[in-house]
Amino acid sequence: MISLSVNGAAGRMGRQLLTAIAEREGARVGAAADAPGQACIGLDTSVLSGGDASGVSVVDNVQALERGGDVIIDFTAPVVSLALLDALEDDSTRVVIGTTGFSAEQLERLHEHASRRAILFAPNYSVGVTVTLKLLEQAARALGDDYDVEIIEAHHRHKVDAPSGTAIRMGEVVADALGRDLASCAVYGREGITGARESQTIGFETIRAGDIIGDHTVLFAGNGERIEITHKATDRMTFARGAVRGAIWLHSRPAGLYDMTDVLGLK
Ligand code: NAD
């Protein structure tokens, strides 16, 4: 039986993760944590997941979280995820990070942590998005520079980072396949007299509205035709189940930084 701990347990994703662990054979909730002062601290995790009593109370510190689980799953915020990694004492504690919105400097710190601990880090844990990334790589390679690439994403009104981590990852995959550097070819939104579209750029458009869980479309537009590759998430459980699957996979891995294509054997 693998014990999985959840950081950010009271969040939109944290609650789904508790449910996904409970429904997964061979796994159990080892510990759950949220921020100090939250109303859920000290309560049984079932208060958050709506399931049967787990006998596990929500804690507010990393040490208790680490004691409870072989693998910690963290969907919180960049500063919280990095503080978690900084505070862990045992290098054999594996960590699945679902948080998005890391700056370049924060990503560097994440990579440093992966030199001594196994970390799974993906901007999107759905199996469908992971497969979509492979499709994008193939499409970009085959279509080449004659097709303009635009990435359009939509999320709920509470999302705090833009473009989404998934959209950025899609951009990186396409840019790599086309031999471009995303940092120098990305265009984020357009307004006013922009002039004609510069070839070889990759455009990002962001929509924030209502309760949209996560829609992504990558548009390849050439002369006389266009291809749209779209993924739509309709239930957060798809991310939670993927993250739990990833946590179980990570349990037996050595130190290093992994992503969902490793978990699904798509590398
Ligand atoms: P949320 O705001 O609903 O939840 C975040 C939780 O973290 C809250 O309960 C908050 O109290 C808790 N938290 C804050 N500080 C903390 C601390 N010091 N210690 C412990 N917990 C703390 O957000 P959400 O919608 O659940 O999303 C969380 C993150 O996951 C975001 O970055 C989002 O973009 C990302 N996300 C990733 C995927 C994926 O598949 N990778 C899918 C959905 C969301």
pLDDT digits (tens, 9 = 90+) for 63-86: 999 999 899 999 999 999 999 999
The third-level CATH classification (topology) of the domain covering 2-125+236-264 is: Rossmann fold (3.40.50)
CA distance 221 to 224: 8
pLDDT above 90 (res 1)? yes
194 CA from centroid of ligand 1 (Å): 36
DSSP state of 118: E
Q: What's the pLDDT band for 176 if we cut at 50, 70, 90?
A: very high
- Average pLDDT for 3-26: 97
* Domain 147-222, CATH number (from 3.30.360.10, 3.20.20.10, 3.50.50.60, 3.90.650.10): 3.30.360.10
Nearest CA to ligand 1 atom 9: 11
Instruction: Give the pLDDT score at 42.
Output: 97
Exposure string (b/e) for 150-163, b if CB count within 10 Å is 16 or more? bbbbbbeeebeebb
CA distance 247 to 236: 17
pLDDT above 90 (res 52)? no
Q: Which two tokens stand for residue 22?
A: 């409970």
Instruction: Give the pLDDT score at 239.
Output: 97
Instruction: Give the pLDDT score at 143.
Output: 98
The reply to whether ligand 1 has any atom less than 6 angstroms from the CB of 16 is: no
CA angle 162, 126, 230 (to 5 degrees): 65
The reply to whether ligand 1 has any atom less than 6 angstroms from the CB of 100 is: yes
Q: What's the pLDDT band for 255 if we cut at 50, 70, 90?
A: very high
Instruction: Give the pLDDT score at 198.
Output: 96
What ligand 1 atom has the least distance to the C-alpha of 98? 41
Nearest CA to ligand 1 atom 20: 34
- Average pLDDT for 25-40: 96
DSSP state of 146: G
Residue boundaries of the structural domains of the chain = 2-125+236-264, 147-222
pLDDT above 90 (res 107)? yes
- Average pLDDT for 143-150: 98
Could you confirm whether 159 is annotated as catalytic? Answer: yes
Q: CATH topology of 2-125+236-264 equal to that of 147-222?
A: no
pLDDT above 90 (res 110)? yes
Closest by Cα among 183, 164, 187, 161 to 172: 183
2 CA from centroid of ligand 1 (Å): 23
